[in-house]
Structure 1
């Protein structure tokens, strides 16, 4: 029977993707691990790998197709002993070839547990390969969403096709299994371990269960449609710029954030004289390569990332995220850093930043920022974290208020460093200073807690030797 290649879910929030390019053509032989296509998400361009051997018999979705839903068949692979010419696309009105449904995206408000996030090391290709492979499956009717008493709002389970099949044959409920794969995905060994340990049987069909009460969805304010907006302006006085996937996602998430997250803001000034002196000393001591270039060059932003990470360890109650019916307090400081790119922005995450040296943070940030601008980050490199840094100081912005990226509990907006007149010991003095503003989710961080976090950050910025111990 033909093997169905599905549009993969390449990130927990992905719903659709653009099929940018086919790297194999019909009639080509493919082996497990061969890259067969490139998919564009709202954030990056990623590769789809084959997980079975065979012949690419039929391409169902041509390259250049936009907004292909996750789990939709995009190609068919003829299996061993099967004539590729006999494989054809399903006609309208007939069922599509059988396929194990790829795991649905997790809600954005439910991040992976901290222990699993720590496994998603930036640059680790294995997690991405596993995600892509889990979306190519032997033919078979696509199963409905897992029945769990939640009706149509049920959350789907992350599981590989093989794990689903074994669980179905053994009558094991996947909801009773803890996954050990990337992002908590259930894989074959998890199911077999559950079977040997006596996992609970699968639940009854959803139709026989009473639907659970659904929380009311937040009512977002209506906005004017495109034609209504265009009617306000004289024809020919504007240019229409279509939205790409990234801009659509940014617009949606920021509107949701401002309408559903109760923001409040705390600002203070930090003196930079000691930090600038230490930075100059560290950079001057950097070893040189054979061309005379320094091995590293720390920026003020590197110190900001480190200071925020250490401050979160000193005020652990603020190192938290909102998870609807609970707060998750993180053990490590995973700090996102906003990186502007053409048409939008990324927020790659520096994992366990409190444990890393300033030079390690600097090197990692340069790598992540470079790949972000080329849209080559993996989903695990820009998801997660409990807070973020948005620095507009290089543009001369003195102060601003940043929008929280859910489920983060906070975000720190950093303004420009500049010379300012202050009063010290009753006498006027000139110092280097910058203004920072902490945006807080009031459900997670109250006013006094936010002030405590910001005070710890200020102490580290003004006495930066504390970051080196």
Structure 2
């Protein structure tokens, strides 16, 4: 029995995603749990797996197309099934309108004294009086007070999508210069302005996602900050000693390991805020901020307290590499209660970071610097490092954050305990 495969909600609260690649061709068989397609979210690639064995009867969108969640992307059949009349099947599955109501193609007449471009007619309803539009498109059209009957669909088989509503809203606001969006369009080119105004670089999907999350964080999470200056002499020496062998670790790897140990020592910090409760976690899952060409991603290292520092280093390197390649899985970007972000390699001595929702905290790590310090009443050279903890005051009180930071400072200044 043929069925429609729809774009899944591969990330929480996502309204659309990019169909990055089809892994199974049209009319090809596939096995249960085999990957049918790869979907790209703002931050990761997600495999869409088959629930059962079958065959691809029809692909409805091309690779690279941006598709709204819930929209049809393919028609699947049982193993060995053949669709004798695919057009009729698409109508029966309520994917397309009957042929009698297919919209005419947009046309223009030659310009003349009294001639003008001929606008395409509004889409006609099917035999059941229905206009094909995604739920999100209908919602946006209603909010903009634009009837869906007046919108031309550019989705699969004329379906009205979000971009069509956006185009209709733009045309409504600026009728002299309507905006045209093509199927599968990705990030537009930079827009040149007058020399004094610079150049507009359109937002990427990842940049929009980052902006939305950070605004949400600052608006909803009451931040407070605690800072500590760490004597990093022993930390630097330990790293050098470990790196004398085949293994290579960074200072940040040791910090990540220390953060997990601090979570074990002060479990009140290993929490997140939810609308109904403060949720605690049995393991220390630590997110690590990774800068990429597309923007910042924060993959999560699971159960750091149970890993050796060399295992943490290997895991962080793998996540960072795949983060820069854009091949992280969605599940690798979810979870955790705290993020570690480090700008020390850029010479930044101290900074405060914005919490990454739904985490309860983020630790900002500065550069190790040489400064005179007082030791046993004498001024001696020392290596110092400033760490700043941004905390969500809803699930975490100031005393708990202070105890946690004191535990972290103790671990970093006596780093052998991190290896225990």
Is the structural similarity TM-score above 0.5?
A: yes
Residue 342 of structure 2 is aligned to residue 424 of structure 1: no
Q: 1:38 to 1:331 in 2, by over 3 A?
A: closer
Please report how far the alpha carbon of residue 343 of structure 1 lies from its aligned counterpart in structure 2 after TM superposition: 1.6
Matches within 5 A, 1:31-50: 31-50=31-50
Q: 1:338 to 1:316 in 2, by over 3 A?
A: same
Separation in structure 2 between the aligned mates of residue 34 and residue 438 of structure 1, nearest angstrom: 44
Match 1:436 to one of 387, 404, 410? 387
Q: Relative to structure 2, which stretch is displaced further, 50-59 or 410-419?
A: 50-59
Separation in structure 1 between the aligned mates of residue 238 and residue 81 of structure 2, nearest angstrom: 68
Q: 1:22 to 1:352 in 2, by over 3 A?
A: closer
Q: Relative to structure 2, which stretch is displaced further, 317-326 or 31-40?
A: 31-40
2:4–2:93 CA contact under 8 A, matched in 1: no
- Say which SS state the counterpart of residue 85 (structure 1) adopts: coil
User: Structure 1, residues 137-176: CA drift from partner, whole Å, max 9, x if none?
Assistant: xxxxxxx9xxxxxxxxxxxxxxxxxxxxxxxxxxxxxxxx
Aligned twin of 1:383: 334
2:31–2:50 CA contact under 8 A, matched in 1: yes
User: Structure 1, residues 327-384: CA drift from partner, whole Å, max 9, x if none?
Assistant: 1122221111101111212111111111211111111111111111112112221211
Aligned twin of 2:16: 16
- Say which SS state the counterpart of residue 246 (structure 1) adopts: helix
2:3–2:93 CA contact under 8 A, matched in 1: no
**Number of residue pairs matched?**
326
Matches within 5 A, 1:117-132: none
Gaps of 5+ in 1: 98-143, 145-224, 226-232, 287-293
- Say which SS state the counterpart of residue 402 (structure 2) adopts: helix
Residue 277 of structure 2 is aligned to residue 326 of structure 1: yes
Gaps of 5+ in 2: 97-134, 136-172, 174-191
Matches within 5 A, 1:334-373: 334-373=285-324
1:35–1:50 CA contact under 8 A, matched in 2: yes
Residue 224 of structure 2 is aligned to residue 264 of structure 1: yes
Q: 1:54 to 1:85 in 2, by over 3 A?
A: farther
Aligned twin of 1:60: 60
1:38–1:45 CA contact under 8 A, matched in 2: yes
- Say which SS state the counterpart of residue 26 (structure 1) adopts: coil
1:57–1:85 CA contact under 8 A, matched in 2: no
- Say which SS state the counterpart of residue 254 (structure 2) adopts: helix
Aligned twin of 2:194: 235
Separation in structure 1 between the aligned mates of residue 30 and residue 79 of structure 2, nearest angstrom: 12
Matches within 5 A, 1:449-460: 449-460=400-411
Separation in structure 1 between the aligned mates of residue 417 and residue 239 of structure 2, nearest angstrom: 13
Q: 1:405 to 1:28 in 2, by over 3 A?
A: same
Q: Relative to structure 2, which stretch is displaced further, 342-351 or 433-442?
A: 342-351
Separation in structure 1 between the aligned mates of residue 256 and residue 89 of structure 2, nearest angstrom: 53
Separation in structure 2 between the aligned mates of residue 263 and residue 376 of structure 1, nearest angstrom: 32
Q: 1:448 to 1:52 in 2, by over 3 A?
A: closer
Separation in structure 2 between the aligned mates of residue 355 and residue 24 of structure 1, nearest angstrom: 39
Please report how far the alpha carbon of residue 78 of structure 1 lies from its aligned counterpart in structure 2 after TM superposition: 3.0
1:264–1:441 CA contact under 8 A, matched in 2: yes
Decide which structure has the larger Cα Rg and report it: 2
Separation in structure 2 between the aligned mates of residue 26 and residue 350 of structure 1, nearest angstrom: 38
TM-score (ref. length: structure 1): 0.65
Please report how far the alpha carbon of residue 76 of structure 1 lies from its aligned counterpart in structure 2 after TM superposition: 0.3
- Say which SS state the counterpart of residue 303 (structure 1) adopts: helix
Aligned twin of 1:2: 2
Q: Relative to structure 2, which stretch is displaced further, 27-36 or 251-260?
A: 27-36
User: Structure 1, residues 244-287: CA drift from partner, whole Å, max 9, x if none?
Assistant: 22111111110110111100111110011111222222222x2x
Separation in structure 1 between the aligned mates of residue 31 and residue 70 of structure 2, nearest angstrom: 21
Separation in structure 2 between the aligned mates of residue 451 and residue 411 of structure 1, nearest angstrom: 14
Separation in structure 1 between the aligned mates of residue 417 and residue 278 of structure 2, nearest angstrom: 29
Aligned twin of 2:70: 71
1:18–1:64 CA contact under 8 A, matched in 2: yes
1:55–1:84 CA contact under 8 A, matched in 2: no
Separation in structure 2 between the aligned mates of residue 260 and residue 427 of structure 1, nearest angstrom: 47
Q: Relative to structure 2, which stretch is displaced further, 440-449 or 83-92?
A: 83-92
Please report how far the alpha carbon of residue 93 of structure 1 lies from its aligned counterpart in structure 2 after TM superposition: 12
Aligned twin of 1:167: none
Separation in structure 1 between the aligned mates of residue 71 and residue 353 of structure 2, nearest angstrom: 37
Please report how far the alpha carbon of residue 86 of structure 1 lies from its aligned counterpart in structure 2 after TM superposition: 1.9
Aligned twin of 2:213: 253
Matches within 5 A, 1:51-450: 51-66=51-66, 68-80=67-79, 82-88=81-87, 95-96=94-95, 235-236=194-195, 237-284=197-244, 286=245, 294=246, 296-450=247-401
Please report how far the alpha carbon of residue 65 of structure 1 lies from its aligned counterpart in structure 2 after TM superposition: 1.4
Separation in structure 1 between the aligned mates of residue 385 and residue 288 of structure 2, nearest angstrom: 18
